[in-house]
Amino acid sequence: MKTALRENIFQALDTIRTHKMRSTLVILGVAIGVTTLMAMVSILTGLSLSINASISSSDNVVVNLTKFDFLGGDVDLKEIQARPDLEPEDWDMIRNTVKSVRLVDYQQQPQGGRLYLAHYQDRRTRPLSVAGMSPDFQRVYLIPLAVGRFFNQDELARNKRVCVLGKGPLEDLFPDIDPIGKRVRVRGEAYEVVGAFQGRESVFGSIADNFLIIPFTTYRKDFARPDDSAIIPMVPKEGYSVDEVMGEVRGLMRGRHKLRPGDEDDFALVPADRIQSFIENITAPFALVLTVISSIGLMVGGIGVMAIMLVSVTERTREIGIRKAVGATRAAILGQFLTEAVTLTGIGGLAGMLAGLGIARGVSMVTGLPAAIPWVWVAISILVSAGVGLIFGMYPAVQAARLDPVDAIRHE
C-alpha cells in the first residue's frame, strides 16, 4: 500500500514536471484562493487576539464613560450634540466618590484627526496627535516607559507644559540621545519631556505610538476646541464587578446631569465585553466574504484540475491500456490519477498558505496591524485544497479506471 502510494506520488510529480505550464496554471488557481484567505484571516486573527488579550488583562480598561455609545446605537447626531460634555469635574467626582473603581483616567483628544508637528532643534516628527490625559493613563493601559516617568498630579494641577513622547516621536527626535529634560516645540509652545513610551505589541499599546501626551489641563489651555471629545476609562477595584462599577457611575452621572426617573441617560457606559462583541461582529462578515472569494478561487482551480486530468487521461490512454493489460486493477488506476490531482491542488494550497502568511507579515510590518498564524486555518487550507483535488479529480480518474485495455492499447 505504502509502496503504491509512493509510486503514485512520484508519478504525479513527474507528470507536473513534464507539463509545467498547465500544471502551474492549476497550482496558481488554487494558490490565489488560499493566499487571499490566509492573508486576511491571519490579520483578522492577530487583531482579534491582540484586542482580546488587552481587554482581558486584569489592569486594562474595563469600562469607558463616554458622551455617546461609540460602538453604535440609535442616538442621532442632533441628540449627541445636545448632550453635556464630560468634564474634569466628572472625573474628579468619580475618583473621590465611586468606591468600586481603582483607576480613573480622563482623556481629551482632537476630533477630525487634527495632526501636528513637534520640533527639537533641527529635527521634526512625522505628523502626530496631541492628547490630554490624566496621571492614571499609563497604569490603565499598561504601556511600559522606555525612559523617564509619567507626569504626576501636581503637574496636572499646575497646568505644566510637560509631555510624554510616544515611541514614534521618540525615534524621530531623539534617536541617539536621552530625551529627558529636553524641550520639544509644538505650535510655538515648548514642552519639557519627562518620559517616553517603549510601545507595546497590542492594539491599546499602539495608542501611544504616534502621540505626544500632555496633562489634560494643559491640553485644554493650549489645544482644546469645542468639538473635542472626552472619555473617562475606569478600572474596577479587586472584588468589584463591571456591573457594580456601571451601576455606581450611572447613578452618579444621572444625579450630576439632573435626570428625572424615566429620563434616558445622556451619556454611555461601554464595558469591555461589548468591545469584544463589536470586534467579532466586524470581523465575521469579512471572514464570510473572504471564504466566498476563496471558494471561487478554489472552484476555478478545481475545474482546471478536472480539465487537465481529462487531457492527461486522453494523452495516456495507451499507457493505461498497457498497465491494465499487465495486471493493473481499476483501483490502482483510480488511485494513480487521484493522487496526481490531490498533489496538484495540495502544492497550490501549500504555496497559497505560505504566500498568504508572508503577505500578512508584510502588511503587519508596514502598517503596525498585528498578525498571527491561525494554525486551524493552516490545516483547513491544506485539507480543503487536497479535497478540491479529490473531488474534481474523481471524474477523470473514474474515466481512466473504466477504460477497456484492448481499446486503450489501440488508441492513437
Give the three cell numbers for residue 246. Answer: 456601571
The residue assigned the cell 469584544 is 276
**Whole-number pLDDT of residue 229:** 82
> Minimal CA–CA distance to 183: which of 117, 120, 116?
120
Residue type, 81: Q
pLDDT beneath 70: ranges in the chain: 1-5, 47-61, 70-77, 80, 112, 199-208, 275-280, 283, 367-370, 411-412
Give the three cell numbers for residue 143. Answer: 504601556
DSSP structure class, residue 136: T
**Whole-number pLDDT of residue 59:** 52
**Whole-number pLDDT of residue 213:** 95
**Whole-number pLDDT of residue 215:** 97
The SS3 assignment for 376 reads helix
The residue assigned the cell 489501440 is 410
The reported pTM is 0.63
* Cβ-based neighbours of 215, under 8 Å, separated by 6 or more: 132, 133, 134, 135, 151, 155, 156, 159, 160, 162
In terms of Cβ atoms closer than 10 Å to its own Cβ (0-12, 13-18, 19+), residue 253 is buried
φ, ψ at 291 (rounded to 5°): -65, -40
> Minimal CA–CA distance to 131: which of 66, 193, 67, 207?
207
> Minimal CA–CA distance to 175: which of 167, 185, 163, 183?
167
* Cβ-based neighbours of 243, under 8 Å, separated by 6 or more: none
**Whole-number pLDDT of residue 252:** 95
Contact 149, 194 (CB under 8 A): yes
DSSP structure class, residue 126: S
The residue assigned the cell 497604569 is 139
Torsion of CA 67, 70, 74, 80, to 10 degrees: 30
The Cα-based distances of 310 to 298, 351, 401, 407 in angstroms read 18, 24, 12, 17
**How many helices (DSSP H) and strands (DSSP E) are in the chain?**
14, 13
**Whole-number pLDDT of residue 359:** 84
* Cβ-based neighbours of 164, under 8 Å, separated by 6 or more: 138, 145, 148, 150, 151, 193, 194, 195, 196, 197, 208, 212, 213, 214
**Whole-number pLDDT of residue 70:** 62
* Beta-sheet pairing, 189-197 with 268-271: unpaired
**Whole-number pLDDT of residue 91:** 95
